[in-house]
Amino acid sequence: MSDLIEHWYGRQKVLRDWDRIRGFWAGEGRCLATMTLASHRPRQDTSDDDRPRLHSDSLRKQANLPGINIPSVFGDYGTVSNARYWGGEVHFSEETGNPHIIPAANSVADALRLTPRPVDDPSMDAERLLRLYDRMNRDLQTDLLWMRMLDPSGPLNTAALILDQTELYMAMHDSPGEVHRFLGTIADFVMELWRHQLNSSGGRVCGSMWPYIVLPQDLGVVVTEDLMPLLSAEQYQEFGVPLLKRMSSEFGALAIHCCGQYAHQVANLKKSGARIRALEFHHPYTRIEDLEPLADSTVFIPYLAVGKQDRFKSTVEFYRNLLRETPTHFRYWFACVEEDEQTIAFIRELEAKG
């Protein structure tokens, strides 16, 4: 059987797109656009037996979409993958198929007594993903397939799933030393888990399950920081910023996901000492003008909560406004998730401009 990825995508196109992505991260051009559709991928509760076929269908369909779309296998088992190593019961929603985890600890003292499973535990999600990636390479007979890592939850997000979240916030006030110890232990584990995936993939990681950007593994890792909206600037400076700096130092740079209101943390991000290669934001919760202090060194990944504002009728209208109204040193990765004529036309216009 011939290389199916080469047949669907074209080897030279994939390699040209890869070079263009590297050039973009090096500072070439103002924006890139990708098109990745959730309907083309397995759900988070999809069985391991069904995933190879669904991923194959997804890859074939994505090859016909516009944009800089690198063929990749998503490690999307939900936002609980990291926390599962520490225990806790996982339940899947009957409505969405998304997982929810019951915390393994109800106090920071209990949490400090927990020991995570090894990163290569065959029952855990990293090994499930690596087995899937190996299977997909064999099935497709390809050397043009990349892998997206598991749940990118950073130490703070992971801590809030291992330990009852209210107890975590209370302990930040009552037992800050224990919280620092707990977060340090989680950071050790999360970074070991990331290194395990990076090393075991054969150097083929191109980002994480979210956001839908392509980040070559030598340029950094993706990390979710969804506690930024929930903590004060002072709390995040104490408990979050040292972890950002540590992860950035270990992996070279960070691409940060956060979908809430975090304008009050921008000064912390600016002064953190971490290299923030990319930063996701969702309008109107966080606005582009809030992020201006980071624009000289950070690519922005914009999204629009259409129903939470009345200024923009569509995501594409929002994107066009960003390109028209913000200074030219504001750079963007448009990670499009809507398959409609307006979005397709927008991406093709960007492609035509080079």
What are the residue boundaries of the structural domains of the chain, listed by start?
4-353
Whether the pLDDT of residue 239 is over 90: the answer is: yes
Residue 296's pLDDT is: 97
Residue 43's pLDDT is: 83
Contact 98, 92 (CB under 8 A): yes
Of residues 27 and 338, which shows the higher confidence score?
A: 27
**Separation between Cα atoms, residue 34 and residue 70, nearest integer Å:** 9
Residue 94's pLDDT is: 85
Whether the pLDDT of residue 61 is over 70: the answer is: yes
pLDDT tens digit sequence for 294-313? 999 999 999 999 999 999 99
Provide the token pair at 137. 């390479």
1 falls in which pLDDT band (50, 70, 90)?
A: low
For residue 102, list its beta bridge partners.
89
- The mean pLDDT value for 5-23 works out to 97
Provide the token pair at 5. 């990825």
Q: What is the mean pLDDT of the chain?
A: 96
Q: What is the pTM of this model?
A: 0.97
Contacts of range 270-277, beta carbons closer than 8 Å, 24 or more positions apart: 270/294, 271/241, 272/241, 272/244, 272/245, 272/248, 273/241, 273/245, 273/248, 274/241, 274/244, 274/245, 274/247, 274/248, 274/249, 275/220, 275/248, 276/244, 276/248, 277/25, 277/215, 277/219, 277/220, 277/253
pLDDT tens digit sequence for 169-180? 999 999 999 999
Helix axes 341-353, 315-325, angle to 10 degrees: 30
Which is it for strands 89-92 and 99-102: parallel, antiparallel or unpaired?
antiparallel
Pick the CATH number of 4-353 from 3.20.20.210, 1.20.210.10, 3.30.230.10, 3.40.50.720: 3.20.20.210
**Separation between Cα atoms, residue 48 and residue 348, nearest integer Å:** 35
